Each structure stands twice: as structure tokens, then as C-alpha cells.
A and B are shown apart, each in its own frame.
Chain A
Amino acid sequence: MQSNTKNIIELKDVSFRYNGGAVLEHVSFSVSKGEYMGIIGPNGGGKTTLLKIILGLLRPADGEVSVSLEKNEIGYVPQRASSYHLRFPATVEEIVRSGRTARLGLLGRFGKKDAEAVDKALETTGISSLRQRLIGNLSGGEVQKVFLARAFAGEPKMLILDEPEVGIDIAGQEEFYTFLDKLNQESGLTIIFVSHDIELISHSVRSVLCLNRRLLCHGSPREFIKEEYIDQLYGKKVKFIFHEHKE
């Protein structure tokens, strides 16, 4: 990965094709340190592909991607984490500790510093009491917190989350995004996440990126989360149903 002092992430004219079909076309944007960004768009609009390109899991067909962080400095919570591995025989502590793997390197062994980082991650996400529970015995919301704790255990400088609200009920979602917001404000952690909940995003993030194969907007949610943009993004009339959020 190339370094860039101004922005953490910079994409220039990035395109991606899968089996000949365009998934992303000429996408350009940048993410600065401490940004809290939500990505919205319809299914198949390229949101997850974009995250995977940033993470280095996919290579773009064209364009340039510059990420100024090492791979072990990026925390990643994959899509639908709550429906995976439910029969895997592992405790919460073992899974959270695995978030330290990349930081330790090939021959590194788990030590005191790692145990402290795991304790802190469990505490930060409020799941210390679940430490010895098996992952398969947790609720969707609890599992999502475990994956978030695993990402924190690696002491990331940037957090990337793909639809983190899946498997969490409405009350849990609000609590989750409030928690992310607090993290971003208090520790300056750069956060990028994909979500389907446009209304929730409008209350949470500092910037929004609208994606439907092409980049349709990038800026403040106040500016872009309006019916005219959303209709354009989803290609049809979208009805807004607002629900109340705690301030």
C-alpha cells in the first residue's frame, strides 16, 4: 500500500468488473483521518465490493487505490457476521483474541499486552461478562459486538464495517450507532460502514457516500439524504418512514 499524508484512503477512477459485468465504474473519492462515513446504495450497487477493494481483498480492473495504513491497522467487521460460524467451538475471548493475530506477526505469541488489549476491547463493547460463552450461544446483537470487539482488539486506526446492523433489533441498532459515534468523537477513530438504513445513517455519520455502480454523491448527510437524491440512487420513488431517535 502506498502512503499518502493528506488522506487515509484515496481512490482515483476505480472500476471493477465481475464476469464481464460492471460492478463499479469510475469511482473517485477520498477519506481523511477521523472521518465517520456511511455508504448507502441499492443491492448490487457495489458497496461491499468497494469495501473489499479498500481492504485489498479485491483488485480493481482500472484506477488507483491508495491506503496509507498497514493491513494490521485496519479493523474489519464483515457482512452478516452474526449468521456465520455459529457451530464453531470457540469462546468469545478466543475470537476477540484472534483480532491480535496480524499485529503479532508470524512467530509472535500471545502475551500480557495482548491480554490487556482483549480485556479493553471486551470492556469497550460491554461484553466482558460474555468472555467464556460460546459464540453459538449468543444473540445476533451480542455476536455483532464480539466481532466489533475483535476488530478493536487489533487496536485499529480505521474501522470498516459491512452492514453491522444485520441481526440486531431496532433498539440495539440505535445503541450500536451511538456507540460508534462516541468512539469516533472521543478517540478520533476513522470509521467507514455500509448500511441499508438511510434514516439511521442520516442521524449518525458526518459524511455519506451514495453508490450505485457509480458514485452519485459524497458529502454531508444533510445535503444528500433528500428524496431527490435517494430516488436517483435507488432508481425509483422511495417512501421515507421516519422513526424517532434518541438525542
Chain B
Amino acid sequence: MEIFQFDFMIRAFLAGAAVAVVAPLVGSFLVLRRYSMMADTLAHTALAGVAAGVLFGVSPLAGALAVSAAAALGMERLRSGEKIFGESVLVIFLSGSLALAAVLVSLARGFNIGFYNFLFGSIATVTPAYLYAIVFCTLAAIALITVFYKELFLISFDEELARANGLRIGALNTLLILLTALVVSLAMQVVGALLVGALMVIPFITAIQFKRGFRGTIFLAIVISLVSVFIGLFLAYYLNLSTGGAIVLVALAFFIASLFV
């Protein structure tokens, strides 16, 4: 196939596959913990990190990781303090980080094409170094979810019982949102910061419609996510479309179809 004659497309498919596995894996716990908007909020904070990276000449990925991880910890601290409503914390960080990104971009003398790619995703930006980083981080995220699977299941299903059992809820929540920060930072180059949240949430809520057990639903979500990413990448390449837009629209089509199952 013509599409696989180019190294950058092979890298895009491999990076896409890694994102397709890790996004719904972490996203499933976000959905069940009613943290769905967390992914979108952290993606916006990652965007501010990218803008800071562009402005100060450091790796945009490193900037995205640092800022989104710091924002994740800040959000969890504010939420657990119970002084502010949970959703309000998300709005403060979402709008605040977007404002910061806009100011940093304007300081960097305008909107460049690289920044646009982080907004909506671009298959051409997947470098070998980025591919290694995303594969390594995906494996690390899978390992952490596997180790803490039973605890994450219990706090998602019944937080009160988990507390009564002596589980460290705060530490597990922090782990989950740090993993989210990691996923959005890595996935934004493939699907874009504005659309990464969709890939974390839509495949899982699509899989729920098929009424399987917890493991089965997560497995199905990963399959739906992989198929969405692959079809989206094909469409983006042959029809010259936005990568993230194409992937998320395919995932949405699966979701709509699942409602008729």
C-alpha cells in the first residue's frame, strides 16, 4: 500500500496505535469517576506547556508534560480542599491555561504551523524520538494500571467502601490524573489537544453500550479506539484531512452506531 511506503506514516500508525490503547485504558476510569472533563482540561493545560516550550526553545512535549502534570496536582489539591465545586476547578484551569497559551503564542510573535499541529494533530510531526517516548510511556501507563487495577476498580465502583477498607483514595486519584496528564501530553501530537479528551472518553462510552463486564468493556473500548485511529489515519492521508478531526469523527460514528445495538 502506498501509505506505508513513507516512514513518517509507519511512525504515525505506531504512535496512533499506542495512543489508541492507552487513551481509553486511562479514560475508562475517568468516565467512571465522573472525571470525563479532566482529560479536556489537562489537554488545554498541555497546550500552554507547548506554547511555553515554543517560546523558550525547549521541547514542546517536555513543556506539555511539565505543565499538565503541575496542573493535575494543582487541580486535585483544589478539588480535595472542597472549597470550590469540582467542575469550577476544571473551568478555572481550562480557561486559564488557554488564556496563558494565547498570551505565550502572541509573545512568540504569532500563531505558527507547529502550534496549529498541536491543536488538531498532525501525522507528519511524529518523529522517531517522539515515537520512542510514546511507546515507552504507554508501556509504563499500562504497567501502572495493571498494578493498581483492583484498587482503581474499587474506588471507581464504590469510593465509600474503598475508604472504609483503608485504601489511599487521594494517592490513587493523584495517580489517575497524573496518568491522564501523561496521556494527553503524548496523544496531542496525533489527535490534537482539542480532541484528545474525545479519544479517552468516546470509545469507552461506546463500549458500555455493548453491556459487557468491566474487563470486557475496557478491551472493547481499546478495539474501538484502535479501529477509529487506523480508519482516521487512512482518511486523513488520502483525503488530506485533519488527523485528530478524522479520528474523532470515526469514533463518534461508532458511538452513534452503538446506540442502535
Interchain CA distance A140-B157 in the complex, whole Å:
17
Among A84, A88, A107, max chain B CB count under 10 A is at A88
Residue-wise, chain B 191-231 has the 8 Å CB interface mask toward A (1 for contact) of: 00000000000000001100111111100000000000000
Interchain CA distance A62-B147 in the complex, whole Å:
39
> A85-B158, A90-B157, A95-B157 known; A101 and B32 CB under 8 Å?
no
Report if B77 contacts A (CB, 8 A).
no
Q: Which residue of A lies closest to B218 (CB)?
A: A89
Contact A107 B158 (CB under 8 A): no
How many Å from the CB of B106 to the closest CB on chain A?
Answer: 44
Contact B150 A101 (CB under 8 A): yes
Contact B164 A94 (CB under 8 A): no
B160: which of A71, A78, A93 is its contact (CB, 8 Å)?
A78
* A residues 67-90 touching B (CB-CB < 8 Å): 71-72, 74, 76, 78, 84-85, 87-90
Report if A225 contacts B (CB, 8 A).
no
Report if A241 contacts B (CB, 8 A).
no
Interface magnitude class on chain B: 20 to 34
Residues in A neighbouring B213, C-beta threshold 8 A? 89-91, 93-94, 132, 134
Residues in B neighbouring A76, C-beta threshold 8 A? 161, 164-165
How many Å from the CB of A1 to the closest CB on chain B?
Answer: 10
Interchain CA distance A87-B212 in the complex, whole Å:
11
Interchain CA distance A43-B4 in the complex, whole Å:
68
B158: which of A74, A84, A104 is its contact (CB, 8 Å)?
A84
Contact B164 A57 (CB under 8 A): yes
The A interface, classified by DSSP as helix, strand, loop or mixed, is mixed
How many Å from the CB of A137 to the closest CB on chain B?
Answer: 8
Contact B214 A101 (CB under 8 A): no
Residue-wise, chain A 83-127 has the 8 Å CB interface mask toward B (1 for contact) of: 011011111011100101110101100100000000000000000
B166: which of A72, A91, A95 is its contact (CB, 8 Å)?
A72
How many Å from the CB of B98 to the closest CB on chain A?
Answer: 32
Interchain CA distance A101-B211 in the complex, whole Å:
24
Contact A94 B153 (CB under 8 A): yes
Residues in A neighbouring B211, C-beta threshold 8 A? 89, 134, 136-137
Contact B214 A71 (CB under 8 A): no
Residues in B neighbouring A72, C-beta threshold 8 A? 165-166
Residues in A neighbouring B163, C-beta threshold 8 A? 57
Report if B151 contacts A (CB, 8 A).
yes
Interchain CA distance A76-B211 in the complex, whole Å:
27
> A84-B158, A102-B166 known; A89 and B214 CB under 8 Å?
yes
Interchain CA distance A243-B160 in the complex, whole Å:
35
Contact A104 B157 (CB under 8 A): no
How many Å from the CB of B143 to the closest CB on chain A?
Answer: 12
Residues in B neighbouring A219, C-beta threshold 8 A? none
Report if B66 contacts A (CB, 8 A).
no
Residues in B neighbouring A87, C-beta threshold 8 A? 208
Report if A31 contacts B (CB, 8 A).
no
How many Å from the CB of B151 to the closest CB on chain A?
Answer: 6
Residues in A neighbouring B160, C-beta threshold 8 A? 57, 78
Report if A44 contacts B (CB, 8 A).
no
Report if A55 contacts B (CB, 8 A).
yes
13 residue pairs A–B, Cβ–Cβ below 8 Å:
A71-B165, A78-B161, A89-B211, A89-B213, A90-B213, A95-B157, A101-B151, A101-B167, A102-B165, A106-B148, A106-B151, A107-B147, A134-B212
B interface list, Cβ under 8 A from A: 32, 147-148, 150-151, 153-154, 156-158, 160-167, 207-208, 211-217
A interface list, Cβ under 8 A from B: 55-57, 71-72, 74, 76, 78, 84-85, 87-91, 93-95, 98, 100-102, 104, 106-107, 110, 132, 134, 136-137, 150, 154
16 A-B pairs besides A102-B165, A110-B150 with CB distance below 8 A are A56-B164, A78-B158, A84-B158, A88-B156, A89-B207, A93-B213, A94-B153, A95-B157, A98-B153, A98-B154, A101-B153, A101-B165, A107-B147, A134-B211, A134-B212, A134-B213
9 nearest A-B residue pairs (beta carbon): A102-B165, A71-B166, A91-B213, A89-B217, A90-B214, A55-B164, A76-B164, A98-B154, A101-B154
